[in-house]
Every structure is written in structure tokens, then in C-alpha cells.
Amino acid sequence: MPSPRGRREGGAEANGGRTALASAAGSLPRDPDSLDGGDPTLLTGWGRTAATLAALHRPDGADRVAEIVAGAGDRGVIARGLGRSYGDAAQNAGGRVVSMLGVRGVRGFDVDNGVITVGAGLSIGELGGLVTPFGWFPPVLPGTSQVTIGGAIAADVHGKNHHVEGSFCDHVLAFALVTPGGEPLTVTTATEPDVFAATAGGMGMTGVVTEATIRLLPVETDRVRVDTERASDLDDLMSRMERDEEYRYSVAWVDCLARARRLGRSVLMRAEHATRAEVAGGDGARTTLDFSPPRALSAPPGIPSGVLSTATLRAFNEAYFRRAPRLERGRIETLNAYFRPLDVVADWNRLYGARGLLQYQLVVPFGAEDALRAVVERLAAERAPSFLAVLKRFGPGRGMLSFPLAGWTLTMDLPAGRAGLAPFLDELDELVVEAGGRLYLAKDSRLRPELLEPMYPELARWREVRARLDPRGALRSDLERRVGLVAGAPGRAAR
């Protein structure tokens, strides 16, 4: 056996590079040793589960990305940003992974009209820090701003404003794609509608996005005006959320451990960007707006797995609920306080110990409130210790594989090591599918592959577009293999 670690024979690069580019029409020499040429690196998602080894490449520009994609062997290639997908979306066992963090320059910024073109490796948080001083704001901010622009397109991420402003790709005017053959392609909804719709939420399987042009949101101040209210149970919460359309941002924290008559008690936080007039008297006269990242604390090392137990979380939930005001209107908060609560602790995922965590995010359409209620009841009955449970209303979705659909989305974090979690989540999946809902692939790490097709009705169309773009199957990922995104459920796929 050759030494398993740090293998760097030159095979891949000899077969890749120029020769491969020249013959990228679909008859590439299959390279058996595609680990070579990058740094063999064990990768996981944010949940720190199911680590696999890949050759990690760190290109510094789009040209180099094209070479890496074109030279990928049988095990293929996938792009990776900041590794915030909870599961295995940005992993590619035995193949290549392209870190896009070296491709993050600003290519152009139209300050008057709020249109910016940036490298795909720039994070949404960094984008916010750049543009906020000029009176602009990222159009969509997910729960963590540690998400790259490329990742935001691949997962078509949503934020607290989805119900009124849609998902990230609704605000992308154009992007540059390195196609699976290694060719550059500029994509807009007008020129390449199919490629755009297959890439938005396409989990990186249509090529590697290297830069994107984004329409920003104008803001007058770096504050938000927040209305907070408590809801006594799930029905109370859902009826209060009927009025979400009056707000740009809305999100509810749900206590998934409260049972019986307090089932689904929650704190609803809705907000709008504050105007100059609203913050006048305070520091409304400020001319420099700020959205620089908070100074992050580190989670202490060596956390035992039991820290986040049902008992500690019940205590936390009780305190959180009691601390929230029953009803409070017009509180002025900083952008960071409202948008980046999770980014204050740098590596909070380590709180879940060695077995890691998973995040379960579902959406069910409006009208399927009973299914949502059933899920929350099952969660409460199971006493599953969820640190974070969040309920949101979605507006209509857009991409072929985009997660959002008009309805209710519920998100929760769960420790992966909990006994009996697998069959429990399988049961929830059934409830979700029966209700016409789906799970979020960017967060998934354990979906039963057979459920992918019922969850994503446009999957067949997506596969057609993808097959046209990538006939040789150069783009691969662990997620894609596990759920059979491209080839159908593993074991059933025609080989």
C-alpha cells in the first residue's frame, strides 16, 4: 500500500491542466488518482458529522478554477465556501474540493444604484461590512452571515425577509459560472434561464460560480426597529404571523420543549430598517453606517457531549421566554444584534461534542398547519433537546431545487449522538412529505433518498438541464451521492 496520507503524486496534474482543457468535450481521460494535486484534507460540514477525505484546492482566480474543474477525475469536483452547510453538501470524498475563499475581490460597485459585483468567495457578512457605510445592505441575510456568495447561490439561501423579498437568487442579476467542462459562462435570467434556475439552489452541481452581480437594498441607518411579542402557544403564534407582510423581517423563536397547553410558546421578533428620523435624538446624525462583524468569542475546548442536555435547554428556554417582553414596539437595535446573534460565538457547533449536530429544516405549504402542529407535538413529546428552533413564513420559491415554497418553515438543531434520532426524524420526514413539504438540502445530512423526488417535484427537469451541462458528471459531492441528486436513490441507480 502506498502511504495513505499526504499523497501527492503528480498524476492528476499531468492529466489535468492544459491537456484536459483541450479535450473537455466529454471524452476526458479518466484519472484514477484524482486526490493528487491538492492537499488531502478531511472535511465535514458545520455539523461536524461524516468526515470524508478530499483533495482540497485553493485557487486564487477564476482561470485556475477552470483548470481544476476540467482536470477533475472520476470522483469529480465540488466548490466549497465557509463550510456552513450542516451536512455533506461541500464535501467530495476521494475527489476534488475547490475552496473559493481565494476568489473574493470586488469587481465593481455602482454606489448610486446599489449594484455590486464580487468574487464568489466573499461572505455575505463581508459584503455587508463593505456596502453598509455607503447606505446599502445585503438583500438577504441568512441566520449566519458566514456564508459565501457562491454558497448563497448554490443553496439559494433565505433570510428573515423571504415572505416579502424572496431568496438570495431573486437579487442576483448575473453570475459567472465555470461550467463542468471548464468553460466560462455568464448567466442571467434573460440569457440562460434554465442554467440560472438550475444553479439557484442547485447545490453546486451545475458548475462553479466565480463571481456574482447583486442588487443591494438601500438603508438610511445601521439600526433596525424591532417589535417583539410573546405568543402563548403555536396557534397564537401562527395567527400573529398572519400580519408578517407588514414587516420586512420576521422570525419566531419556538420553545420545542414546552408541552400541552404551552406547546409552541414562542417569541416573535419582527423588524424594519430604521429611518434617520426614527433614530434621531440618539445618534441619528451619524454619517458612517457600520455593519462590521462582531468580535467573536470562542467556545471553550473539550466540551463534553452532555452540556446541551434536555435539562439545560429547558432552563435556557424558560429563561429566554421569560426574558422576552410580552409586547414591545419600536425598540431600536443594531444590525448585528438582530441579524448576527449566532456569529457572536465563533464555533458554537462544538458545543454539541464529538458526535456533532444536525439541523433539521422543513417547510410545509400554507394549509398544512396540522402537519406543522404534529411535528411540534412530536418534538415536544420526544423531548429532543433543540437549542435553536425557529419558525418563519416563506413566500413563493424560485429555482428548480430551491428550498422555499409558500408556507411555514421550521428549523431546529439536534445533537447527532442522541439515541433513536434516526427513526424519529424519518417519522417527521413522512409527515412533511405527506403535507407536500420538503427538507432543506443545504442543511440535510440524513434524508432517506427515496423521499427526494416527492419533495422536489422539479427534480426531473433539473436533472435534464444538469445532464446537458455536465454530461460526464464532473461535479460530484457527498450530498449528491448520498441522496442520489443526480443519479437517483443509491442502490436503485442504473449503473
As a whole number of Å, the end-to-end CA separation of the chain is 29
Cβ atoms of residues 385 and 418 within 8 Å: yes
Q: Applying CB under 8 A, what is the total number of residues that bind another protein?
A: 43
Q: Which region, judged by CB under 8 A, interacts with another protein, from 144-152, 253-261, 275-283, 486-494? A: 486-494
Residues 422-441 close enough to bind another protein by CB under 8 A? 422, 425
Q: Using CB under 8 A, which of 85, 478, 485, 486 touches another protein?
A: 478
What's the rounded Cα separation, in Å, for the pair 295 and 493?
48
Q: Which region, judged by CB under 8 A, interacts with another protein, from 240-248, 254-262, 376-384, 485-493? A: 485-493
Least separation in angstroms between residue 358's CB and another protein is 5
Q: In the chain, how long is the greatest CA-to-CA distance?
A: 73
- Give 50's Cβ-side CA count (13 Å radius): 21
Burial of 303 (0-12, 13-18, 19+ CB in 10 A): middle
Q: Which is nearer to another protein, 35 or 98 (CB)?
A: 35
Q: Using CB under 8 A, which of 12, 31, 49, 382 touches another protein?
A: 49
Q: Which triple of cell numbers denotes residue 79?
A: 466548490
Q: Which is nearer to another protein, 244 or 478 (CB)?
A: 478
Residues 448-467 close enough to bind another protein by CB under 8 A? 448-449
Q: Which region, judged by CB under 8 A, interacts with another protein, from 56-64, 273-281, 461-469, 476-484? A: 476-484
Residues 61-120 close enough to bind another protein by CB under 8 A? 75, 87-88, 92-95
Q: Which triple of cell numbers denotes residue 160?
A: 428573515
Question: Contact between 8 and another protein (CB under 8 A)?
Answer: no
Q: Using CB under 8 A, which of 13, 17, 19, 51 touches another protein?
A: 51
Question: Contact between 490 and another protein (CB under 8 A)?
Answer: yes
Least separation in angstroms between residue 109's CB and another protein is 39
Query: What are the DSSP E strand ranges found in 149-190?
Result: 172-178, 184-187
Question: Contact between 36 and another protein (CB under 8 A)?
Answer: no
Question: Contact between 50 and another protein (CB under 8 A)?
Answer: yes
- 204 Rama sector, left if φ>0, alpha if ψ -120 to 50, beta otherwise: left
How, if at all, do strands 96-99 and 77-80 pair? parallel
Q: Which is nearer to another protein, 33 or 222 (CB)?
A: 33
Least separation in angstroms between residue 289's CB and another protein is 40
* Buried/exposed 137-166: b ≥16 CB within 10 Å, e otherwise: bbbbbbbbbbbbbbbbbbbbbbbbbbbebb
Q: Using CB under 8 A, which of 139, 205, 445, 470 touches another protein?
A: 445
Q: Which triple of cell numbers denotes residue 382?
A: 420526544
Q: Using CB under 8 A, which of 446, 452, 466, 469 touches another protein?
A: 446
Q: Which is nearer to another protein, 247 or 440 (CB)?
A: 440
What's the rounded Cα separation, in Å, for the pair 362 and 430?
11
**C-alpha separations of 426 from 269, 378, 408, 433, 449 in Å:** 31, 12, 19, 11, 11
Cβ atoms of residues 493 and 487 within 8 Å: yes
Least separation in angstroms between residue 481's CB and another protein is 5
How, if at all, do strands 96-99 and 52-57 pair? parallel
Q: Using CB under 8 A, which of 53, 362, 368, 380 touches another protein?
A: 53
Among candidates 178, 176, 279, 169, which has minimal Cα distance to 224? 279
Q: Which is nearer to another protein, 297 or 354 (CB)?
A: 354
Contact residues for 61 (Cβ-Cβ < 8 A; gap 6+):
102, 103
SS3 458: coil
Least separation in angstroms between residue 307's CB and another protein is 18
Question: Contact between 279 and another protein (CB under 8 A)?
Answer: no
In sequence order, the β-bridge partners of residue 172 are 214
Least separation in angstroms between residue 101's CB and another protein is 21
Least separation in angstroms between residue 495's CB and another protein is 7
Question: Contact between 417 and another protein (CB under 8 A)?
Answer: yes
Q: Using CB under 8 A, which of 47, 81, 114, 138 touches another protein?
A: 47
Cβ atoms of residues 174 and 190 within 8 Å: no
**Within 10 Å of residue 283's Cβ, how many Cβ atoms?**
11
In sequence order, the β-bridge partners of residue 392 are 409
Provide the mask over 350-389, with x wherever binding to another protein is found by CB under 8 A and - wherever it is not.
----xxx-x-------------------------------
Binding site for another protein (CB under 8 A): 1, 4-5, 32-33, 35, 40, 42, 47, 49-54, 75, 87-88, 92-95, 354-356, 358, 416-417, 421-422, 425, 445-446, 448-449, 478, 481-482, 489-492, 495
